[in-house]
Structure 1
Amino acid sequence: MQSVILTDDWITIDTGLGADIKTLIFKVAIPVLAKVFIFVVGFKTRAPGPTIMAAIFAGIMVGLSPSISTTAQVTSDTINQYNNGGSNSTVLQGDR
């Protein structure tokens, strides 16, 4: 019987395809989509408040997108630590 991984995150798949696609996504696609988001919100609402909030949210997305691999690693470490029972934790009878 052959083992098959059914789920895989898109960063790992993207790394397998090459670093050029990853660079294209993080340095071109995400900033362009953020600008489109700001223009669409600004055009639809024609109000400064929602447009400013859209710009803030787009800035957060563009700023945090390069650190997504770090976030994935921290999340993976946290899950592994939880699955191993934690570092200094004791499992009581009623916990499971």
Structure 2
Amino acid sequence: MLESVTLAQGWIQTGTGLGNDIKGLIFDVAIPVLCGVFVVVVGWKTKAPGPTIMAVIFAAIVWGLSANMSTLKNKTTEDIVQYQGGPTAPRGDE
């Protein structure tokens, strides 16, 4: 029985490693490439500077937000804690 736990633990570690690799691949490669493709397609289809500039701005926002996910996560956590009254605020009927 102990062997099956060890085997399961190994699979969990392997899955976690693959998940982290895939996450890195998505955030470091896929999103920037898709943003570039988006700008090129909009520029090619419209052949106008206005929509192409807006596509560049939108792609930059998406790329920037995806690159700063850890900062956004920490800021969201801070906002939630502050909204709840901080870490020392009484909870419920205390």
TM-score when normalising by structure 2: 0.62
Change in 2 beyond 3 A, CA 1:17/1:81:
farther
CA distance in 2, matches of 1:41, 1:47: 9
1:1-96 mapped onto 2 (5 Å cutoff)? 17-84=18-85
> Displacement of 1:64 after TM fit?
2.9
> Relative to total residues, which structure has the larger helix share, 1 or 2?
2
Alignment coverage as a number of residue pairs: 73
Displacement over 4 Å in runs of 4+: none
- Alignment partners' CA distance in 1, 2:64 and 2:79: 23
Structure 1: runs of 5+ lacking an equivalent: 1-14, 88-96
* CA shift in 2, pair 1:77/1:85, >3 Å: closer
RMSD of aligned alpha carbons: 2.4
Task: Give 1:16 deviation, angstroms.
Answer: 7.2
Q: Which runs of 5+ in 2 are unaligned?
A: 1-15, 89-94
**C-alpha deviation, 1:34, in angstroms:** 0.3
What's the CA shift for 1:62? 1.7
In 2, the alpha carbon distance for the partners of 1:30 and 1:40 equals: 15
Identity of aligned residues (%): 62
